[in-house]
Amino acid sequence: MKTMSTPLAAVYSTSVMEHHHFNQTVTILQQDGHNILKSLSSDEYKRALSLIKHCILATDLALFFPNKARLSKIVAENSFDWQNNEHRALTQAVLMTGCDLIASAKPWAVQTETVKVIFEEFYEQGDAERMNGKEPIAMMDRQKAHELPQMQVGFMNGICMPCYELLSRVIPETDQLKERCRYNANKWEELAEEQKRRTEEEAI
């Protein structure tokens, strides 16, 4: 978004799409017949909007890492308290990331189809960047599509698994998400190894 210097990037300095999503939410709520929060008092309405904004902005993956670090420290110190507002806010934020990444914990057939669709969108952005004289990052480079399995291994092990592992410690009922994610991560590792073998054989 920022690389392409889009109008939205000029409006918002950080978390571009996330701020846009929140502002669109407020716009919808202000339309006749769409304000599902109209029965709330003024203070309740402000708190509700604050929570909505907090949760939407938390879907910015750049914010996941500091949120995870803070919540992990609290959990490691065995000091997590559901009555603590900061602890609840951090859990909400990590939960939003978990929701955003949920395809990684879906059945394998759903996971692969979702990745295919997402990467096609990435490649289209990379194509546009290349047409504008900019070299796209590997993830958005159609010419490096053969590296997709290995990229997924890094994504699953570096982001998805840590997210669900942390959530399972705070909310044990989410443990199945961690296990499904682990299964998919292992499948991507198998595909990455297979691709590596093919590449080595072709080089002989």
Domain boundaries, the chain: 1-57, 101-203
pTM: 0.85
Per-residue pLDDT reduced to its tens digit, 125-159: 999 999 999 999 999 999 999 999 999 999 999 99
CB atoms within 10 A of CB 183: 13
Q: Establish whether 100 is an annotated binding residue.
A: yes
Map tokens 């420290």 to a residue. 73
Phi, psi of 71 (to 5 degrees): -70, -35
Residues 6+ apart with CB under 8 A from 166: 68, 71, 72, 75, 94
Query: Residue 66, CB half-sphere, CA atoms under 13 Å: how many?
Result: 6
Q: Based on the number of CB atoms within 10 Å of its own CB, is 80 exposed (0-12), middle (13-18) or buried (19 or more)?
A: middle
Per-residue pLDDT reduced to its tens digit, 36-86: 999 999 999 999 999 999 999 999 999 999 999 999 999 999 999 999 999
